[in-house]
């Protein structure tokens, strides 16, 4: 972690000199020890951020250049902060820069010279031309679909041309420029969102962005995030209309496009009407829910079926507005549709626990892979706990034991499961799987030995102790194993040709042996030299304790 006041001692002189040549602009302390600024390097400008902790160490930093290290731009900013932090006061904002040479040159140019130079410059720098038009071009008050397409085309082309493989930085530049380019269109759409034509233009805009996104390759999620925020803003304006009757007309028309028409419906339109519901107030939500409710009643009579993913979305609306009891018939359980099924069961639980129990069991029986049954086991376990049905809870805990293989769960199962044959199979399976996993999963030894301890099966413990058994485990049960068969316990220790544990654990075991066995007996065993890993060290430790 770099300390801000000591940066010059933490980097090479060459790197320090390079960083000091960069221009630091508009440095601000947004809040205590949170700094942001722009750092200019030749023709590029970078957003740079540094956060200091109370020790004036750099706790967080970021720069939108491509470097993954502590780049020159961060170093330049850090050095600049360092110079101000050494003073008596904390920096709040930098003073304005002196007039640059470029500004002086512009003052000396006439308008024709400047126009000629800019036109030539724009031929080679399309992104700059777009930025210029956004700032100084004519502000439109209406937009055709062709003009919307042109905005998307010109903006993307000005940044990356015909390039198909886009970097994260490319996408960021496109989205930043699109945000600026679409401001007039956004303003028009937001001011006229009470018109269906504006909604159609908004959806067309989303389609155009999506079409561009489909024709390029990038792992960035910025396009999706951009469209989500645009949709939230547009629907937010729409739902804030003061004339509720006018809003109802718009909601009815657009929801009926989904509910009543067979025409192709884009996923952008579907996201739009979903957002209209989910961002609405209680009055708007109940109105849309009532539209949905009436149409589902028609579907039940006509036996019309939606695909499950759409049913799942409508179920949320129906459930939130307490229409599930009336419309339950339209939401049957669907095989292998866990997300949807769990929501249906959640609603059934509110009205009929016995029915929910039967459904869970039926789904569990039909699932091929038991991992998909866990959420249904969870529902049943909670239900049985509320009923205080310990036998049923034990059964569920046995079925989902490997989701939480703890000694507490094992003991609960052993003491409450009444299926003796299944319990035996379960016990043998658990011990077998745990013992076979010691090498790859040493932590499983704790549970294995805890189970044997619960069963008072110390003979089995002595039989399984080998070089894989950690010394800490042996220490935990040493007294009980010694009491059972002190000679066999000593032989088990002596037979370990390799040692698995910390030196502190070995000291504890050595002290135990010295306190329990005759010195001559221990000397006879541990005076011999072993060549296994750690065995000689332990033998020497025991011998030293005997001498002392």
Tell me: the pLDDT tens digits for 46-79?
A: 889 999 988 888 999 999 887 878 899 999 999 9
In a domain, 241, yes or no: no
In whole angstroms, what is the distance from residue 93 CA to residue 337 CA? 57
The top-scoring range by mean pLDDT among 5-19, 52-66, 104-118, 220-234 is 220-234
pTM attached to this predicted model: 0.65
In whole angstroms, what is the distance from residue 494 CA to residue 522 CA? 10
Domain around 77: 4-85
Split at pLDDT 50, 70, 90, the class of 45 is confident
In whole angstroms, what is the distance from residue 180 CA to residue 190 CA? 15
pLDDT of residue 514: 93
Question: Rounded to the nearest 5°, which phi and psi values hold at 99?
Answer: -60, 135
Last residue in a domain, options 65, 85, 105: 85
Residue entry with tokens 């399309």: 126
Number of domains in the chain: 3
Does residue 206 surpass a pLDDT of 80?
yes
Chain segment 220-238, per-residue pLDDT in tens: 899 999 999 999 999 998 9
Residue 300: both structure tokens together = 């039940």
Last residue in a domain, options 85, 105, 137: 85
pLDDT of residue 87: 44
Task: Answer yes or no: are the C-beta atoms of 26 and 94 closer than 8 Å.
Answer: yes
pLDDT of residue 396: 95
The top-scoring range by mean pLDDT among 1-5, 11-15, 34-38, 392-396 is 392-396
DSSP assignments along 411-459, one per residue: HHHHHH---HHHHHHHHHHHHHHHHHTTTT-TTHHHHHHHHHHHTT-HH
In whole angstroms, what is the distance from residue 276 CA to residue 152 CA? 25
DSSP assignments along 453-486, one per residue: HHTT-HHHHHHH-STTS-HHHHHHHHHHHHHH-H
Task: Answer yes or no: are the C-beta atoms of 506 and 537 closer than 8 Å.
Answer: yes
Does residue 146 surpass a pLDDT of 50?
yes
Helix ranges (DSSP H) in 66-195: 72-85, 101-107, 111-124, 126-136, 145-160, 168-181, 183-191
Handedness of CA 453, 457, 463, 464 (dihedral sign): negative
Rg (CA), the chain: 36
Does residue 92 surpass a pLDDT of 70?
no
The more confident residue out of 332 and 527 is 332
Distances (CA, A) of 425 to 114, 431, 451: 89, 10, 15
Beta pairing partners, 44: 41
Question: Rounded to the nearest 5°, which phi and psi values hold at 323?
Answer: -105, 5
The set of long-range contacts for 178-186, using a CB threshold of 8 Å and a minimum separation of 24, is: 178/152, 178/209, 178/226, 179/226, 180/131, 180/134, 181/130, 181/134, 181/151, 181/154, 181/155, 182/151, 182/230, 183/134, 184/139, 184/140, 184/143, 185/140, 185/143, 185/148, 185/151, 186/230, 186/233, 186/234
What's the mean per-residue pLDDT of the chain? 86
In a domain, 269, yes or no: no
Residue entry with tokens 């005997």: 546
Does residue 114 surpass a pLDDT of 60?
yes
Length of the chain: 548
Last residue in a domain, options 85, 100, 128: 85
In a domain, 18, yes or no: yes
Residue entry with tokens 């003991």: 411
Split at pLDDT 50, 70, 90, the class of 333 is very high
The more confident residue out of 264 and 222 is 222
Measured in whole angstroms, the distance separating CA 188 from the mean position of its chain's CA atoms is 36
In whole angstroms, what is the distance from residue 506 CA to residue 504 CA? 5
In a domain, 504, yes or no: yes
pLDDT of residue 526: 81
Distances (CA, A) of 205 to 147, 152, 185, 366: 10, 9, 10, 45
Split at pLDDT 50, 70, 90, the class of 491 is confident
Question: Rounded to the nearest 5°, which phi and psi values hold at 464?
Answer: -95, -10
The more confident residue out of 86 and 383 is 383
In a domain, 536, yes or no: yes
Question: Rounded to the nearest 5°, which phi and psi values hold at 39?
Answer: -120, 125
In a domain, 218, yes or no: no
In a domain, 208, yes or no: no
Does residue 248 surpass a pLDDT of 50?
yes
pLDDT of residue 199: 92
Residue 526: both structure tokens together = 């541990």
In a domain, 178, yes or no: no
The more confident residue out of 455 and 499 is 455
Mean pLDDT across 198-207: 93
Reference 63, options 50, 48, 77, 78; nearest CA is 48
């Amino acid at each position: 972690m770099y300390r801000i006041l000591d940066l010059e001692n933490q980097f090479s002189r060459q790197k320090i000199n390079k960083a000091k040549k960069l221009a630091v602009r508009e440095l601000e302390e947004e809040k205590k020890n949170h700094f942001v600024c722009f750092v200019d390097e030749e023709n590029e400008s970078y957003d740079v951020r540094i956060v200091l902790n109370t020790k004036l160490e750099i706790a967080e930093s970021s720069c939108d250049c491509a470097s993954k290290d502590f780049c020159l731009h961060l170093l330049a900013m850090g050095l600049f902060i360092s110079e101000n932090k050494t003073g008596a006061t904390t920096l709040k904002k930098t003073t304005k820069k002196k007039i640059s040479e470029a500004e002086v040159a512009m003052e000396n140019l006439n308008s024709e010279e400047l126009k000629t130079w800019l036109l030539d410059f724009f031929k080679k720098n399309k992104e700059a031309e777009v930025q210029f038009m956004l700032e100084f071009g004519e502000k439109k008050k209406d937009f055709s679909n062709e003009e919307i397409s042109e905005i998307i085309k010109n903006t993307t082309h000005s940044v990356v041309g015909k390039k198909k493989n886009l970097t994260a930085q490319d996408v960021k530049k496109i989205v930043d420029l699109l945000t600026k380019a679409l401001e007039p269109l956004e303003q028009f759409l937001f001011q006229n969102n009470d018109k269906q034509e504006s909604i159609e233009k908004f959806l067309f805009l989303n389609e155009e962005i999506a079409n561009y996104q489909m024709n390029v390759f990038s792992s960035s999620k910025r396009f999706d995030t951009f469209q989500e925020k645009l949709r939230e803003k547009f629907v937010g304006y729409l739902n804030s209309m003061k004339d509720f009757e006018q809003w109802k007309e718009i909601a009815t028309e657009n929801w009926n496009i989904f509910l009543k028409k067979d025409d192709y419906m884009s996923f952008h339109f579907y996201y739009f009407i979903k957002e209209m519901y989910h961002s609405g107030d209680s009055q708007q939500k109940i109105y849309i829910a009532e539209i949905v409710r009436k149409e589902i009643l028609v579907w039940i009579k006509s036996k019309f079926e939606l695909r499950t993913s759409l049913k799942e979305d409508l179920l949320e609306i129906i459930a939130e507005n307490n229409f599930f009891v009336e419309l339950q018939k339209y939401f049957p359980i669907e095989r292998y549709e866990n997300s949807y099924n769990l929501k249906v069961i959640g609603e059934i639980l509110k009205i009929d626990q016995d029915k929910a129990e039967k459904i869970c069991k039926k789904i569990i029986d039909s699932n091929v892979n038991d991992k998909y049954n866990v959420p249904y086991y969870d529902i049943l376990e909670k239900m049985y706990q509320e009923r205080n049905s310990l036998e049923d809870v034990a059964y569920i805990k046995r079925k989902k034991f490997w989701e939480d293989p703890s000694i507490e769960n094992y003991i609960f199962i052993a003491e409450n499961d009444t299926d003796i044959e299944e319990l035996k199979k379960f016990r043998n399976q658990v011990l077998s799987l745990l013992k076979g996993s010691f090498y790859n999963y040493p932590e499983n030894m704790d549970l294995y030995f805890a189970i044997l301890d619960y069963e008072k099966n110390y003979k089995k413990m002595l039989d399984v102790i080998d070089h894989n058994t950690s010394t800490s485990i042996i220490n935990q049960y040493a007294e009980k194993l010694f009491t059972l068969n002190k000679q066999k316990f000593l032989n088990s220790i002596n037979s370990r040709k390799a040692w698995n544990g910390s030196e502190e654990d070995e000291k504890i075991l050595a002290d135990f042996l010295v306190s329990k066995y005759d010195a001559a007996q221990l000397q006879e065993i541990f005076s011999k030299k072993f060549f296994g890993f750690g065995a000689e060290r332990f033998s020497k430790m025991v011998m030293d304790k005997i001498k002392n």
